[in-house]
């Protein structure tokens, strides 16, 4: 099931393309073998590369795709390339989902965790105005997963409406608390879209650690969760 460590510098599994970013980068996902039950998404925010690094290490360690878990390694490749939370149009892709609560207003992000949300970003011209959001929406509708696990950082909690077995397992592996609500409004977020469309959504907010520490501390336990038939 696992590749030798010496082989893990590169990917052996084949990604499929599901779209193109504003700057023309390919959007890739790694399909599951059977019907996708869980879709794991990292890199919606380009300033949160830790989750991408963690998933990349996990995918590179595998010698075959998982039965029921599919992956989007980097949902916002332009943001990761530019080092920005938003995409190349300055749109926060986690405020751009076509939900009833989507708002055209500006949205704000924090320069760092302790500071006020003062950096102005956009929620887009309309819900799913951005190619990255639209492509991911189409992919979710095509795969129709039972659960979505979106990886963010660094709020150090697990946010979901229900404390499902996956949530309990994540709490244990990451030593993080479960919260029913993130504590501030997130109009047009993927979580809001999931709630409206009856898809279970778990947001894993990684702790405030370096990507390298996160891989060291959680790769093994997180891989075991993903490999279980969820």
Binding segment (CB under 5 A) for Zn ion, from list 19-27, 42-50, 102-110, 159-167: 42-50
Q: Does 95 bind Zn ion (CB under 5 A)?
A: no
Q: At what angle do helices 49-61 and 211-227 cross, to 10 degrees?
A: 50
* Residue 106-145 contact track with Zn ion, rule CB under 5 A, x = bound: ----------------------------------------
How big is the site for Zn ion, counted in residues (CB under 5 A)? 3
205 is catalytic: yes
Least distance from Zn ion to the Cβ atom of residue 45, Å: 4
Gap between the Cα atoms of 57 and 60, Å rounded = 5
Residue 114: CB atoms within 10 Å: 6
Gap between the Cα atoms of 108 and 90, Å rounded = 11
Among 152, 186, 192, 215, binds Zn ion (CB under 5 A): 152
Q: Does 45 bind Zn ion (CB under 5 A)?
A: yes
Q: Which of 196, 205, 212, 213 is catalytic?
A: 205
Gap between the Cα atoms of 50 and 210, Å rounded = 7
Distances in Å between the Cα of 196 and the Cα atoms of 35, 146, 173, 227 are 22, 14, 29, 28
Residues forming the site for Zn ion (CB under 5 A): 45, 48, 152
């Amino acid at each position: 099931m696992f590749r030798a460590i010496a082989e893990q510098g590169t990917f052996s599994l084949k990604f499929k393309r599901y779209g193109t970013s504003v700057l023309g980068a390919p959007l890739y996902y790694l399909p599951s073998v059977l019907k996708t039950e869980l879709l794991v998404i990292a890199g919606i925010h380009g300033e949160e590369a830790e989750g991408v690094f963690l998933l990349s290490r996990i995918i590179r360690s595998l010698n075959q795709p998982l039965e029921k878990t599919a992956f989007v390694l980097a949902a916002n490749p332009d943001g990761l390339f530019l080092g920005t939370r938003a995409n190349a149009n300055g749109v926060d892709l986690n405020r751009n989902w076509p939900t009833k609560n989507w708002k055209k207003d500006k949205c704000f992000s924090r320069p760092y965790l302790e500071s006020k949300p003062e950096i102005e970003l956009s929620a887009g011209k309309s819900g799913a105005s951005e190619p990255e959001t639209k492509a991911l929406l189409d992919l979710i509708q095509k795969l129709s997963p039972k659960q979505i696990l979106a990886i963010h950082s660094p709020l150090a909690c697990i946010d979901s409406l229900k404390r499902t077995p996956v949530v309990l397992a994540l709490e244990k592996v990451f030593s993080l608390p479960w919260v029913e609500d993130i504590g501030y409004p997130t109009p047009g977020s993927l979580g809001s879209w999931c709630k409206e469309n009856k898809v279970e959504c778990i947001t894993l907010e990684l702790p405030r650690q370096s990507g390298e520490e996160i891989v060291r501390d959680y790769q093994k336990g997180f891989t075991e969760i993903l490999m279980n038939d969820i």
